[in-house]
Every structure is written in C-alpha cells, then in structure tokens.
Structure 1
Amino acid sequence: MVPQSLDCLIYLAKLMSEYVKKSFFSSILNLDSRAIGTLYLVLAIVAGVIGAVFSFVLRLALNGSDLAFLSLIVPSDPALLSFMNTAHALILVFFMVMPALIGGFANWFVPLMIGTHNVAFPRANLIAFLLLLLTVLSGFAALLSFGDESRFKILMLASIFIGSMSFIISFINFITTIITMRAPGLTLARLPVFVWSVLVASFLGLMSVPAMLAALTGLVLSGPVSVDNPSMMVWFFSHPEIYVLLLPAFGIVSEILVTFTKRRLWMENGVVAAMVFIGTIGFILWMNDLFEFRTPDVMARYFRVALPLIILPTAFILLSWFVTLVKSRFKFEMPMLWAMGFFFVVLMGQLSALQLAATGNSVNGANQSAFVAHFHYILSLSAVFAIFAGWYYWLPKMTGYMCRSLTTRIHFWSLFVGVNAIFLPQHLDQLTNGLIFGSTASGIFSSVGAVLAAFSVIVFVYGVCETFVRKTKAQSNPWGEGALTLEWQLASPPDRNVWEKVPVITK
C-alpha cells in the first residue's frame, strides 16, 4: 500500500513539475513585446521594494536611530551601511527605473502607439531581458560575497557590465522599431511625444553606455590604473544617463496631460525639439563633477554656465505643460495627480540646480545635503512619480482592470508628503544656513518622511493585490475622448493579434 501511495505522489509531483515548467518557460520565453514588458515591470516592482527597504534603513541610520531591531544588519558595521548606500542607488536606477521606463512601458506601448504588433527584433528583446536577469543574479552573488572585497568588486562590475549590454540591445531595438515599423501615414512629425522621448533617450543611451563598458573593462583588466581615465568615462556615461531616465518620464507625463486636458500640448513640436536639445546638451555636463574650486577660473566658469544651460529646455517643457493646463479644464484622475506630483518635483530639482550653480556647490558639493537633495529630486523622485503616473494611466490597458481610487490616493499623498519631508528641509537648510530648520528639526522631519514613504510602498503593494482581487473591469478607453493615441483604440487588454488590419494614419 505504501509503495503504491509513494508511486502516486511521485506521479503527481511529475505532473505538477511539468505544468510549472511548461507555464514558466512559456511565459519567460515569450517573444511578444507586451509579455516581455510585463516581466520588466515585475522586476521593477521587486527591485523597487528592495531598494526602498535599503533607503529606509539608511535614513534611520543617518538620523541616529537604533537599528538593533533589524536582524539583517549590524548597526556597528559602517562598511555594510556603506554597501547599502551604494546598492540602493544601483538597484533603484538599473533594476527599477530603467526596467520600468525603457523595458516595461516602452516594450508595451511603443509598438502599439506606432501601429505595429511587436518590436523589430523580438529575440534580441528577449535576450536583453535575460541578460538583465543575469545581472540580477550576478549582483546577488556579489551581495553574498560581501566579506571578500576583491570578489565583491569583480562581481559588481560584471553585473553592471552585463546590464549595460542589455540596455544597448534594447536601445538598438527601439531605434530600429520606431524608424522602420511605423504605420502608413505615421510620419515622424505625427509620432506621440512618448515615442519621441523613447527614441531620443535610446540614441542618447546608445552613445553613452559604451563609455561605461569601456571604463568597466579598464577597471577589470588593467589592474592599478590612473584614476582620471576611468572616472571620466564613468561620468561621460552618468550625466547622459540622467536624461535617458528623464526623457521617457517627460513623454509619459506629456501623454497624460494631453489625455486629461483634451488638448494638444502647447507648442508640441517645441517640446520635442527641447527633448532633442536636452539629449545633445547632456553630453556637455559630463565633466561637471570632476572639477573642484581649484580648477582654473576659465574652466570653472564654463562648467558653472553649462549647468544652468540644461535648465532652459526643461523649463520650456514645464512652460508648455503649464500653458496647456491653464487653457483647459480637467479632472484630477489618479494619473493626473501623479503627473502634478512629477511637475512639482522636477520644478524643485530645477530650482535647486540654480541654487547649486549660483553657490558653486554643483562642482564640489557631493557631500553637501543640498546636492544630495537636488540629485534625488531631479533623478530618483521625478522618475518614481513618472513611473507611477504611467502605471496608473496604462494599468487598465495592460490588465483590463481599474484600480480603486481611495487606495491610489492614499498611495500618492503618503509618498508625496513623505519624500518632500525628507529632502525639502535639506534645500532650505542650505539656502538659509539652518535658520528655518536646525539639524534636530530637519532630522525629525526626515524621520517622519521616511516612515510615510515606507508606508506608501506597503500601500502600493496592497493596491496591486487589491486590483487583481477585485477585478473591476476597465473599458477599452476608460479616460474618455482625450485619449487619442492608437493603444486606446484596442481592447483592454489587447488581443494576442493586436492589429487585424494595419492602421492608416491620416491626421
């Protein structure tokens, strides 16, 4: 009797393993760009939660909180906290922001917006995602070898190297797709702003990421090398990388404003030109962080002028959004609320850039709190708000379900108040020499803000689960007559065969 029961259990286990294996590999090896985009978004959510936990722990440590209640870290180990400081940035930029904006939303909606069924190179698209997964595994292996400094560095460099290869493949894929696979009548002048933003960001990334690969290769193979050359290569990558992340964010917010104001962007062609200008001028700023005040006066003046110069096209985009809003009536639907949050944090980032340029802290202020706050406003916070704006805007199209309004509003306000409570006092302290907040008051505000931001992560995860449990059906176009791009002409979610007939664009 017992052997028969064991045989039965073994047989059932084999059936289950075959089913799991089949379903797993059928999803992970799917060549459809929407399926791959979904995998990117799942990776971004997981990485975002991990990065948020690291950020929360770092904020507690900076405020002098007792971390003994955390069993995963040793409070007296500054090396581990230093590792978390580096890791939270790498995780959020390479495994959350870029996978969400470039891998997730672009894979999902660039083909739909230009009237095609898939990207130009579906297999290369899958390879790019699998390389990013390999990057995650390499990074995790580096984490496990934290005590071995040489092995840790090599694995981290290998992780970033593989991830850079993944992004290069994606950039080439999107450039080819947008240029060669547009629907009849969809000229470059008629492209949606989001597609333009992905195109410009892909060109920018394709020119800057190889510099990172060259720098990493030199660090791995050359041994003790001159510090200047690798650092120059890394900064040549890093400054354009900021705009690789910001440009798709600008595109997402522009699409949301057009949808809910039911108007074209004011001077839309000018907005596209501003994006191209941002992509071009982004390369001028790459030396900014290599120079200190001992730099010769002529060179110092040049780089102090270069930083405000990048503000001009960004200010024009913000002006276009503002004029579009002033000339229209709109409802504060959830995507619109997140777009307004993005508008605010970008504006704060631009104002802080002027402050840093005026005081000279843009060059040697890496350890200044105002510099840290500026960098978070202009890169991480703006990207996060744009990602959530795109998430709530396109989630009905991707899943066919609507989010609960109350949950999403709690998510927005807890994150918005939390992150501004963390970073806004740092700007004001630098501007007023601590007259508004002191160090004690600033620490209290930051602690409260960190708790609110951590709470917002919990609310988001709960909201995702709630959406799939409640299953409130979404219409093919839940946002009304303002949503005019091609993806809103399809079912929610789109059928496997997206276009039965290739659309022809006439206006």
Structure 2
Amino acid sequence: MTSGPLFQTVSSSHRGGSGGAFFLLALFAGMLGGVMGLPFLHVHPSAGVIVSHAVLMTFYVVCPAFLGGMAQWFLPELLKGEGMALPSAARIGFGVLAVGAFLLPVMPFIGLALWSVGVLALAFNVLATVLEMRTIPFREFPPLVWAFLANALSMLVIAPVLLAFLLRSGMAGGGAEALLTVLRGSVEMTLLSVPSLGIIMAALLPRQTGQGWVSRCAPYAFGLMGLVPVLFWADHLFGELSSSAYKAGLTVGLVLPCLALLVAFARDLWRAALPSGPAAGWASGGLVLLLSGWAAMLTEPLWAPQSAQPGAFMLGAAGHQLVMFGSLLALSAAFYGWCGSRLVSQGRAFALFSMAHALVTFAGALCSVLPQLVLPAALLMGTSLLMFALPAGLVWYGMLVERTQGVTGLLRKQ
C-alpha cells in the first residue's frame, strides 16, 4: 500500500513532545554560525571563529534537528508506536547541546565534547525507540526510519572517538586548527548525507511498504553510509590506516551506496506523481544543491588549478558549501512539513510564504559559492534566517496557548 509523501500525511499529534525545542536550538545555532560567517569577521579570521562557524552550521544544526526534533515528531508515527523510549535521554541531550552551543565560540574543545555527549544521548533514544517501541517488522520500515537508524549508529562511533581525540589533543596542547582536519571529510559528509537523503525521499516519494526500489535499497545503502565511512575515519585517526585505503573506504562507504540510492530514487520518482506543497519545494531545492555539491567535490581533481590565489573560486570548497546548504534545505522541508500540519488554517498564504522562503534560501546558497557575490549571499541568507521566525513563532505561540488554556486544535481546522 502507498499514500502521499510523509510530510503531507503526518498528523500533528501530541507525540512531538519536546521536539520543537530541538528545532529552536538548531535555528539558534544556525543564526549564530551564520553571523560568524559574515565577511567582516573573516578579514583576519582566527582558528576559533572558523571552527565555530563550521561546527555550528553542520553539527549543531543538522544533528539536533534530525535526531532530536524530527525523531520525536515523526519516528513514533513511522513505527506505529506510542512515543519515544527514553524521553529523559532527549531532555538530557537537549540541555547538554544547548550549553555546548553557547560555549563553542569561546571554548571549541569543550563545545565539541558537549556535542558528543548530547548526540550520544539522542542516538540511544532513537535506537531504543526503534528496537523497543515499534509495532511493525523491520522489513516494513520506510526509508526515513533506516536513515534515523544509520545516523544513530554513526553517533555510536563518532562521539566516543571524538571525545578520545579531544582528550588526547587537549593534553598535547593542540590548537583549534587540528579540529578542522579531523572533522572534515567522512564525518561531515556522513552527518550531512544520511539525514538529507532520508528527508528528501520522505518528502518526494509516496509512503511505501516494501515494493519500491528505494524501500529495498535503503537498509543496505543507509547502513553502509552510516557505518563504513566513520569506521575508516576512526581507524585512520587512531590506527595505521593508509591514506589510499582511507579514500577507498570513503568511496565504498559513501559514493557507491549513495549512487545506488539515487538510482533507486530516480526510478521510483519516475513512476510516482510529483508532489506539491512547501515541503516538496524545499526538498527539491535541497536535492539540486546536494547533487551539485557532490559533483563539484568528485570532479575537483580534474579541474582544480595547481595554485590558487587567496579568495579565489575553489571547486571543492564550493561543493562543500553546496552540500551543507542542501542539507539545510532538506531539514527545512521537514520543518515546514510539520509546521504545515499545524497551520492548516493559514492555507495558501502559508504555502506561498514557504515557497518564497525556499527561493530566497536557494538563491543565497548559490551566491555563497562565488567570492564575488559574498555580500548578496550574506543578505539573502540573513533574510532567510529571519524568515524562519514567522512560522516558528506562529506554531510555538499556538502550542503555548493550547497548553496554558487547555484548548486543543487551536491551529487546525475543525
């Protein structure tokens, strides 16, 4: 059996719990990271500013929103369960991540250590929910559940290894520059790619029960993407794995399963009716940016100049930015999908605002890859961050009124 895409059919029940708090945390981290990326802070950038900007925009935005906000909103419904297995772990994770986001700009090592502890709590919550709270067999899991599971398993490897590296580097007197070389590569691409592909497929494909190519491919593809790259990264960091074997592991663990998943997605999408609405618009833009970014990063050795002037256009750096913004657009698809389920009464006005917001964000992401357009990119992305305040404010104001006055269905049509 099939039905519409997830973000068109999900109900806005009480199961969301504190999931909205994680999206607020991700929004705060994104705004703080965006401010640190403004041009005037990068005239003479310090290593701490660069590390804080990179970590905030990737680790403190994507992981809390996906394993915290999205998991609490959507995972119980996808598993047909009653809720999350470890709500206390979610509360602990939120508190630790919130403190880490504030401390990261001034103490990068402490901020990353707190991030590791916080996401580990969220990962345990997701894994326990999948194992204990499901009422459907594993073979009927939709692709998004496999993405949740793969992302949580990644955290079980990344968090302890990162904590060990921070301890070793801190005792050796290492600076913030060492963090960039450790976090860039397989860790960052895994944390960006797995959630993004899961969200995009949930937003654009009908909900399937095992008969689609994506449903058959998802357990193997997401499993490889979630575990193989980070295991090779851990061995390369602490073991004696050579650089050539490390790159081969990234190809096997990231490129090949991602390619297989995209082929299956294209085949299923060809046979399905294209969805419309805010979530589909955001997901489509995210997919375009992700594909462009991956193509730029893979083809960089063919086109990259031998020597480049400071501030010049670099294909690999541009691809990295496109992948990051593609992941943010995919997360926004989930956010607007949930907001849309709460703001049904706003109707067409909300849909038009969402599409305008998606266009502004998409244009800002494209401008950001060109050094000559850094000012328009900053203006567009700043406008995009401010535009998030409207749907977020409407939803959380309605939830506050419902909770304080005991009114249900305030935001939805009766």
Structure 1 partner of 2:58: 93
- CA shift, 1:321, in A, is 2.3
- CA shift, 1:347, in A, is 0.8
- 1:233-244 pair list within 5 angstroms: 235=182, 239-244=186-191
- 1:225-374 pair list within 5 angstroms: 235=182, 239-259=186-206, 265-283=212-230, 286=233, 302=245, 305-309=248-252, 310-358=254-302, 369-374=314-319
**Equivalent position amino acid for 2:157 in 1:** M
- Correspondence for 1:453 among 381, 392, 396: 381
**Equivalent position amino acid for 1:216 in 2:** L
- CA shift, 1:468, in A, is 7.0
Q: Is the 8 A contact 2:343 2:395 kept in 1?
A: no
Structure 2 partner of 1:163: 115
1:395 to 2:339 alignment:
yes
Structure 2 partner of 1:36: 18
- CA shift, 1:279, in A, is 2.0
Structure 2 partner of 1:410: 356
Q: Is the 8 A contact 1:252 1:386 kept in 2?
A: yes
Tell me how far apart the structure 1 counterparts of residues 395 and 88 of structure 2 sit (CA, whole Å).
31
- CA shift, 1:182, in A, is 0.7
- List per-residue Cα deviations over 1:196-242 (Å, max 9, x = no partner): 1111111111012101100111233x2447x9xx9699738962343
Q: Is the 8 A contact 1:335 1:389 kept in 2?
A: yes
1:219 to 2:164 alignment:
no
**What TM-score, normalized by structure 2, do the two folds share?**
0.79
**Equivalent position amino acid for 2:69 in 1:** G
- Correspondence for 1:420 among 366, 384, 387: 366
Tell me how far apart the structure 2 counterparts of residues 116 and 263 of structure 1 sit (CA, whole Å).
19
Tell me how far apart the structure 2 counterparts of residues 386 and 366 of structure 1 sit (CA, whole Å).
31
Q: Unpaired runs of 5+ in structure 1?
A: 1-31, 63-74, 143-154, 291-297, 426-441, 472-490, 495-507
- Correspondence for 2:127 among 172, 175, 180: 175
Tell me how far apart the structure 1 counterparts of residues 234 and 133 of structure 2 sit (CA, whole Å).
37
Q: Is the 8 A contact 2:204 2:275 kept in 1?
A: no
**Equivalent position amino acid for 1:416 in 2:** F
Tell me how far apart the structure 1 counterparts of residues 128 and 244 of structure 2 sit (CA, whole Å).
40
Structure 1 residues 300 and 469, CA gap change in structure 2 (3 angstroms): closer
Tell me how far apart the structure 2 counterparts of residues 37 and 239 of structure 1 sit (CA, whole Å).
28
Structure 2 partner of 1:294: none
Tell me how far apart the structure 2 counterparts of residues 233 and 406 of structure 1 sit (CA, whole Å).
39
- Correspondence for 2:326 among 359, 362, 382: 382
1:117 to 2:82 alignment:
yes
Identical counterparts, % of pairs: 19
- CA shift, 1:109, in A, is 1.6
Tell me how far apart the structure 2 counterparts of residues 116 and 79 of structure 1 sit (CA, whole Å).
48
- CA shift, 1:416, in A, is 0.8
SS of corresponding position for 1:282: helix
Tell me how far apart the structure 1 counterparts of residues 318 and 18 of structure 2 sit (CA, whole Å).
34
**Equivalent position amino acid for 1:256 in 2:** A
**Equivalent position amino acid for 1:375 in 2:** H
Structure 1 residues 262 and 181, CA gap change in structure 2 (3 angstroms): closer
- CA shift, 1:319, in A, is 2.0
1:50 to 2:32 alignment:
yes
**What TM-score, normalized by structure 1, do the two folds share?**
0.65
Q: Is the 8 A contact 1:236 1:286 kept in 2?
A: no
Q: Is the 8 A contact 1:236 1:283 kept in 2?
A: no
Tell me how far apart the structure 1 counterparts of residues 315 and 235 of structure 2 sit (CA, whole Å).
16
- CA shift, 1:336, in A, is 0.9
**Equivalent position amino acid for 1:39 in 2:** A
Structure 1 residues 177 and 366, CA gap change in structure 2 (3 angstroms): farther
- CA shift, 1:252, in A, is 1.4
Structure 1 partner of 2:3: none
**Equivalent position amino acid for 2:22 in 1:** Y
Structure 2 partner of 1:497: none
- CA shift, 1:392, in A, is 1.4
Q: Which moved more, 1:119-128 or 1:160-169?
A: 119-128
Q: Is the 8 A contact 1:266 1:321 kept in 2?
A: yes
Tell me how far apart the structure 2 counterparts of residues 234 and 210 of structure 1 sit (CA, whole Å).
18
- List per-residue Cα deviations over 1:182-202 (Å, max 9, x = no partner): 11xx11111121111111111
SS of corresponding position for 2:213: coil
- 1:420-499 pair list within 5 angstroms: 420-423=366-369, 425=370, 443=372, 445-465=373-393
1:135 to 2:100 alignment:
yes
SS of corresponding position for 1:355: helix
Q: Which moved more, 1:114-123 or 1:301-310?
A: 301-310
- CA shift, 1:53, in A, is 2.5
Structure 2 partner of 1:19: none
Q: Is the 8 A contact 1:422 1:449 kept in 2?
A: yes
**Equivalent position amino acid for 1:340 in 2:** S
1:193 to 2:143 alignment:
yes
CA RMSD across the alignment = 3.9
- CA shift, 1:453, in A, is 2.4
Structure 1 residues 217 and 117, CA gap change in structure 2 (3 angstroms): same
**Equivalent position amino acid for 1:212 in 2:** L
Tell me how far apart the structure 2 counterparts of residues 446 and 137 of structure 1 sit (CA, whole Å).
26
**Equivalent position amino acid for 1:277 in 2:** L
Q: Unpaired runs of 5+ in structure 2?
A: 1-13, 400-408
Tell me how far apart the structure 1 counterparts of residues 132 and 310 of structure 2 sit (CA, whole Å).
43
- CA shift, 1:45, in A, is 1.6
- CA shift, 1:446, in A, is 3.6
Structure 1 residues 302 and 395, CA gap change in structure 2 (3 angstroms): same
- Correspondence for 1:103 among 62, 68, 72: 68
**Equivalent position amino acid for 2:278 in 1:** M
Structure 1 residues 175 and 262, CA gap change in structure 2 (3 angstroms): closer
Q: Is the 8 A contact 1:168 1:206 kept in 2?
A: yes
SS of corresponding position for 1:161: helix
Aligned residues: 381
Structure 2 partner of 1:478: none
